Amino acid sequence: MATRLNPYLSFTDDARQAMEFYREVFGGTLTLNTFGESGAPDESIKDNIMHAMLETTSGFILMASDTPPGMAHNPGSAISISLSGDDDEELRGYWAKLSEGGRIDVPLEKQMWGAEFGMCADRFGIVWMVNIG
């Protein structure tokens, strides 16, 4: 297998909702494993997500988990996830779904480098950049 780089997102207690949202945006197969299924003794986190993985037909892989008690939560504000390509319809579709209910920082519009670009934070606070070349 080739080496891959894929984002792993950290949430407090809404990884399930976020990953189900991303499945609606990108399609694909979502696998969810809870702390309870893994034998965690803490009843308060038994339904929280220990590991989630979304694999899409486009080859995207997105992973996530909820942060268990006692661990520091490091939200994704220090990084952005970038989607780019020349499939206008596909990328506009992702943009529309990701920005709905979130915050648009840069509207999706033509930029000085010639491409259309936009940046938004989705409803879970994850920052996305879309560049249509």
Give the neighbor-by-neighbor strand order of the sheet with 127-132: 81-85, 127-132, 116-121, 103-110
The phi and psi torsions of 99 (rounded to 5 degrees) equal -80, -20
Catalogue all structural domains in the chain, each as residue range(s) with its CATH number: 8-66 (3.10.180.10), 77-132 (3.10.180.10)
CA atoms within 13 A on the CB side of 24: 11
The pTM of the full predicted model, rounded to 2 decimals, is 0.84
Q: CA 80, CA 102: separation in Å to the nearest integer?
A: 14
pLDDT of residue 3: 63
Partnered with residue 44 across adjacent β-strands are: none
What's the average model confidence in pLDDT over 40-68? 91
> In 3-state terms, what secondary structure has residue 57?
coil
pLDDT of residue 21: 98
- Whether the pLDDT of residue 1 is over 90: the answer is no
Q: What is the pLDDT of residues 12-38, one digit of tens each?
A: 899 999 999 999 999 999 999 998 998
Q: What is the pLDDT of residues 72-85, one digit of tens each?
A: 776 655 678 999 99
**Nearest to residue 131, comparing CAs of 103, 106, 108, 101?**
108
**Nearest to residue 28, comparing CAs of 52, 12, 46?**
52
